[in-house]
Amino acid sequence: MTVLEELARLSDERFLDVYQSLSENGFGPLDLQVAESLRFRPKAIKKLPMDKRAKRARWIITSQGRTELAYELFGTYLVRTKNALVTGFLDATGIEHDEGMIEDTESGTPDPAKIPAAIEKLDAEFDSEDVTLYLALCAEQWPDSSALQEAWKKRAGANSTS
């Protein structure tokens, strides 16, 4: 549920930024689902402004509780546009990966002792919203890691008051 909670905290403008950053050839990342929900032909969706498509995509995710869709959207955004954030955290906490892609998600969890320093380093280098979004993904990925759950909850609580 953490990625859905993080989605609920994002402003419409921030979600639009994420959505637009993943567009290709004028199509947003969830435009096929958006077209289906509006009963548009897939190519006709391009006639709808991107902000309307993003709003509908967000509605699809939240109204249907599509955690996996939110996780995929945010994960793709971070790997494509903030890869150094992803790889920096994984390297700092001892998780094996290939350019940010974790081959064996069952083999281990981030070292709890290394998480605070990793977050501190990421905060110094990246936008706090991106770091918080990534922590939501990590908390979803490793639900049994109390250190990650606590770090994300602390961040999420701090961000909801700002």
CA dihedral 36, 37, 43, 45 (to 10 degrees): -170
| Mean pLDDT, residues 125-130 taken together | 95
CB atoms within 10 A of CB 112: 14
Residue 153's domain comprises 82-160
pLDDT at 161 over 80: no
| Mean pLDDT, residues 14-43 taken together | 95
| Number of domains, the chain | 2
Residue 55 belongs to a domain? yes
Is the domain of 129 the same as that of 98?
yes
Q: φ and ψ at 144, to 5 degrees?
A: -90, 0
Rounded CA-CA distance 79/112 in Å is: 22
pLDDT at 101 over 60: yes
Residue 71 belongs to a domain? no
User: pLDDT tens, 66-89?
Assistant: 999 999 999 999 999 999 999 999
| Mean pLDDT, residues 115-127 taken together | 97
Is the domain of 89 the same as that of 148?
yes
Per-residue pLDDT band for 2 (boundaries 50, 70, 90) equals confident
Per-residue pLDDT band for 127 (boundaries 50, 70, 90) equals very high
Residue 70 belongs to a domain? no
Share of the chain above pLDDT 70, in %: 96
SS3 content of the chain, % helix, strand, coil (to 5): 70, 0, 30
| Mean pLDDT, residues 78-104 taken together | 92
Is the domain of 117 the same as that of 156?
yes
Q: What is the pLDDT of residue 159?
A: 58
- Residues 9/156, Cβ–Cβ less than 8 Å: yes
Residue 77 belongs to a domain? no
Is the domain of 32 the same as that of 101?
no
Question: Which of 23, 39, 65 is the last residue in one of the domains?
Answer: 65
Is the domain of 86 the same as that of 150?
yes
- Number of helices and strands in the chain (H, E): 9, 0
Mean pLDDT for the chain overall: 92
pLDDT at 96 over 70: yes
pLDDT at 125 over 70: yes
Residue 57 belongs to a domain? yes
Q: What is the pTM for the complete model shown?
A: 0.89
pLDDT at 90 over 70: yes
pLDDT at 1 over 90: no
Residue 24 belongs to a domain? yes
